[in-house]
Amino acid sequence: MTLHHQPGKERIDAVRAFNRFYTRQIGLLDEGLLKSAFSLTEARVLYELAHRDGLTATDLVRDLALDPGYLSRLLKKFEERGLVERAATEADARRSSIALTSAGRQAFAPLNRDSHDQVAALLDRLPASDQDRLVKAMQTVQRMLGSDGAEPKIPYMLRTLQVGDIGWIVRRQGMLYAQDYGWDETYEALVAEILAAFVKSFDPKWERSWVAEREGEVVGSVFVVRRTDEVAKLRLLYVEPSARGLGIGKRLVDECVSFARARGYKTLTLWTNDILVSARRIYEAAGFKLVEEERHHSFGKDLVGQNWNLEL
């Protein structure tokens, strides 16, 4: 049973103060829309139609909290101006979906551009690290107060290495393999050596890094390193426990394979250990074949090392 505690006055006052502050900020951003030929509500309807397919009037009423009669008059005005068109939905011919016409998209474009520029100017006042903190905090508010508690539509993004990633990846891999498999600090040292060498000798034509980020946090990574003109090596695949089940491991391996093929490598190889069952399943699904096994004592444990190859 979950116990819910009544919020104290200090918390309520803090939320109300934030609401007043944020309302002022949004008001400043909305001023640009009010200078256009569209009202604020009209602009928001156009935004929804521009970014979502298959919307019905019922969807707009629900998602924008609009009066059905008001929305009906607004859409009729848009139709008369040639900005929107209706079509019967596949699920129910009696209901019609609403979409922007070419003229509607042209009318929306300057609104979208101005709104984008205003938010960019707002963020530009902050250093990059504070921008990340702000966006992460907004995503947290959206997730926690959303009516269905759903995760963001885009659960993660992939990017290349940034300053600070190397230390984080070394630390997290060391900790995770110690927790999950009891490996000692010599594995963390190996990860540090591999990544230090990657950065020092990085060749962007032949090598690549991918870092998975979710809500501002690093949740996975992988690297492709050149061995010869024909052979590349996939190294240090890992995914945080909090992000497993999202397909990040498969996506990272797929990116490695696509990159190796695009660069003209003949073989993509990797070294792993037989106890890393989840990773091995991903490699097998991607087409890698086990070519060699060897017992060894490393990281404080007796292990079975494996070499896997993918012929490209």
Q: Is residue 271 part of a domain?
A: yes
Q: Is residue 305 part of a domain?
A: yes
Distance, CA of 227 to CA of 129 (rounded, Å): 35
Distance, CA of 184 to CA of 191 (rounded, Å): 12
| Number of residues written out for the chain | 312
Same domain, 282 and 168: yes
Same domain, 256 and 125: no
Q: Is residue 47 part of a domain?
A: yes
Same domain, 115 and 174: no
Same domain, 106 and 20: yes
Same domain, 175 and 65: no
Same domain, 124 and 222: no
Same domain, 193 and 235: yes
Same domain, 34 and 136: yes
SS3 at position 224: strand
Q: Is residue 151 part of a domain?
A: no
Same domain, 38 and 135: yes
Distance, CA of 38 to CA of 105 (rounded, Å): 14
Same domain, 298 and 165: yes
Burial of 179 (0-12, 13-18, 19+ CB in 10 A): exposed
From 113, 145, 177, give the residue that closes a domain.
145
Burial of 255 (0-12, 13-18, 19+ CB in 10 A): middle
Contacts of 116 (CB under 8 A, 6+ apart): none
Q: Is residue 81 part of a domain?
A: yes
The domain that holds 138 is classified in CATH as 1.10.10.10
What confidence score (pLDDT) does residue 32 get? 52
From 90, 113, 145, give the residue that closes a domain.
145
**Residue 265 near residue 232 (C-beta atoms within 8 A):** yes
What confidence score (pLDDT) does residue 1 get? 44
Q: Is residue 23 part of a domain?
A: yes
Are β-strands 231-239 and 267-273 bridged in parallel, bridged antiparallel, or unpaired? parallel
pLDDT tens sequence for the chain (312 residues): 445 567 788 888 888 888 888 877 766 555 555 567 787 788 888 888 887 777 889 989 988 888 999 999 999 999 999 999 988 766 555 678 898 898 988 888 888 777 777 788 888 888 877 887 888 788 778 777 775 545 555 578 899 999 999 999 999 999 999 999 999 999 999 999 999 999 999 999 999 999 999 877 899 999 999 999 999 999 999 999 988 888 899 999 999 999 999 999 999 999 999 999 999 999 999 999 999 999 999 999 999 999 999 999
Q: Is residue 92 part of a domain?
A: yes
Same domain, 30 and 84: yes
Which domain, by its residues, includes 177?
157-311
The domain that holds 199 is classified in CATH as 3.40.630.30
From 84, 115, 145, give the residue that closes a domain.
145
Number of domains into which the chain is organized:
2
Same domain, 179 and 256: yes
Q: Is residue 3 part of a domain?
A: no
